[in-house]
Amino acid sequence: MSLALGCVADDYTGASDLANTLTKAGLRTIQTIGIPADDRALPEADAVVVALKSRSIPSDQAVARSREAEAWLRARGAAHVMFKVCSTFDSTDAGNIGPVMDALRTEAGEAIALVTPAFPETGRSVYQGNLFVGSVPLNESPLKDHPLNPMRDANLVRVLARQSASPVGLIDTATVAKGAEAVAARLDVLAAEGKGAAIADAIFDSDLEVLGRAIIGRKFSVGASGLGLGLARALAADGRGTKDAAGAAVGEPVGGTSACLAGSCSQATLQQVAAAEAIMPVLRLDPARLLAGANVVAEALAFAEERLAAGPVLIATSASPEAVRALQAQHGVDAAGHAIEAALAAIAEGLVARGVRRLVVAGGETSGAVVDRLGLTAFLLGPEIAAGVPVLRTAGRPEPMLLALKSGNFGGADFFGRALDMMR
Ligand SMILES: Nc1ncnc2c1ncn2[C@@H]1O[C@H](COP(=O)(O)OP(=O)(O)OP(=O)(O)O)[C@@H](O)[C@H]1O
Ligand SMILES: O=C(O)[C@@H](O)C(=O)CO
């Protein structure tokens, strides 16, 4: 396998978002969960996205895992490696975007990394280094209440500088508007000034195409799906893609029953869970009872078992920001998060043991816990359900499953119903 592009993603839903974008832009893409133990089992691909669960772990561990993934991708011919981060730049002052970026940039032998989380298709744009979510700055968006990494500063030059060992510069809209050569020249100037990274403005896909052309000849970049689009289009223009990449892995129906799990507490997921109540039985788990020792896993599986034959069910811990804060105040952020993730993963395992073969999961950390518990190792890309969320088909599992791993903020109110309609 000689890859046109290699990507290291800091969570599983983010990885499937990027793999979806690359596929649509003409690169046959595979998503692996961690570094595959045996890559002979992987089909031919133009791009591989190695999904890590490194967004919210200690930064030294995130760096070590990302370096291993990068080395694996380089050994398979990837001349350019992109580190995929969240389009809302989810991180804390302790990392992990800065430390991982510093390590991978050094490994690549580059003086400076271009960085942009812009993803116009989902309303993420960057102007003068400030990240907007729809029409509001990041710190006024629902991300200010994120359970694990509340985002309270929209200025990414500042945010990244607090996380990186090197100073951070800006490639502004005026430079991007002048084209790829101007961007490349600005990167060189910033590198000569001692900057280790540059936040790049991007408002439209056309800006991301400029950025992609400017950096495809370099070895390393940091971004969300928008930058993936820019890089993939630059590669496709160079004849490195595959004409019929999109939707290549629809495959035969997998059968079995279907279910949804939601551990995301984002505003979008809260609306989607509420809308699902009109079309399927919904069990809202009480995390306070879970943390007090009640066997909510068994209760959830009993609920599902009674209903699955008649149609899909949804099991959710999703709660309002006030309820999340109250639980965290009592039990701690990490302890509450991990206990809930572990419970949803155990429920997923129980559901699969009861015949579920089509599973929709909402939330990045939640999806990570579920996919790890199910022991899934790689996915092929199917059709797009909503911007950033494809149908995934397991690779290397004797009895295939379909999954949809939804980033917390993605999808319309009808997401769960729509996903299940597309997963047969
Ligand atoms: N009721 C709740 N109270 C407190 N924490 C919760 C509750 N329900 C879920 N959580 C935790 O909140 C976190 C949600 O993170 P997750 O990454 O799954 O969703 P998200 O942040 O919305 O998605 P993404 O990372 O894709 O944007 C998890 O750690 C989950 O266990
Ligand atoms: O970039 C995004 O917003 C998503 O792919 C993601 O990473 C959310 O967890």
Tell me which residue has its CA closest to atom 18 in ligand 1: 363
Ligand 2 atom showing the smallest separation from residue 364 Cα: 9
CA of 319 to the centre of ligand 1 (A): 9
Q: Where in the chain is the domain with CATH 3.40.50.10840?
A: 5-237
Instruction: Return the structure tokens found at 44.
Output: 């031919």
pLDDT by 10-residue block (mean), the chain, 424 residues? 92 96 94 86 90 95 98 96 97 94 98 98 98 97 89 97 98 98 98 98 98 98 98 94 68 93 97 98 97 97 98 97 95 95 98 98 96 95 95 91 96 98 94
Q: Which residue has the tokens 């009592």?
A: 330
Picking from 141, 6, 20, 119, the residue whose alpha carbon sits closest to that of residue 406 is 20
* Ligand 2 close to Cβ of residue 11 (< 6 A): yes
Q: Which residue has the tokens 């000689």?
A: 2
Is the omega angle on the peptide bond into residue 130 within 30 degrees of 0, that is, cis?
Answer: no
Say if CB 83 and CB 104 are below 8 A apart.
yes
Helix 364-374 / helix 333-353 crossing angle, nearest 10 deg? 50
Radius of gyration in angstroms for the set of CA atoms belonging to the chain, rounded to a whole number: 20
pTM over 0.80: yes
Say if CB 370 and CB 343 are below 8 A apart.
no
* Ligand 1 close to Cβ of residue 198 (< 6 A): no
CA of 337 to the centre of ligand 1 (A): 7
* 81-84 vs 5-9, strand pairing mode: parallel
Cα angle, residue 23 at apex, residues 369 and 50 outer, rounded to 5°: 35
* 113-116 vs 29-33, strand pairing mode: unpaired
> Which listed ligand is nearest to 15 at the C-alpha?
2
CA of 188 to the centre of ligand 1 (A): 40
CA of 10 to the centre of ligand 2 (A): 9
* Ligand 2 close to Cβ of residue 10 (< 6 A): no
Q: Which CATH architecture has domain 257-422?
A: 3-Layer(aba) Sandwich (3.40)
Q: Which long-range contacts (CB under 8 A, 24 or more apart) does 249-255 make?
A: 249/380, 249/381, 249/382, 249/393, 250/382, 250/383, 250/391, 250/393, 251/380, 251/382, 251/393, 251/400, 253/424, 254/357, 254/358, 254/393, 254/399, 254/400, 254/401, 254/402, 254/424, 255/357
* Ligand 2 close to Cβ of residue 86 (< 6 A): yes
Residue type for position 374: L
* Ligand 2 close to Cβ of residue 13 (< 6 A): yes
CA atoms within 13 A on the CB side of 301: 17
Number of H helices, E strands in the chain: 15, 18
Helix %, strand %, coil % for the chain, to 5?
Answer: 45, 20, 35
Instruction: Return the structure tokens found at 385.
Output: 């359900």
Say if CB 76 and CB 57 are below 8 A apart.
no
Q: What is the ipTM of this complex?
A: 0.97
* Ligand 1 close to Cβ of residue 386 (< 6 A): no
Say if CB 128 and CB 170 are below 8 A apart.
yes
Q: What is the DSSP letter of 135?
A: T
Q: Where in the chain is the domain with CATH 3.40.980.20?
A: 257-422
Q: Which CATH architecture has domain 5-237?
A: 3-Layer(aba) Sandwich (3.40)
Say if CB 319 and CB 265 are below 8 A apart.
yes
Across the strands, what pairs with 361?
261, 405
> Which listed ligand is nearest to 389 at the C-alpha?
2
Instruction: Return the structure tokens found at 194.
Output: 């001692």
Tell me which residue has its CA closest to atom 27 in ligand 1: 408
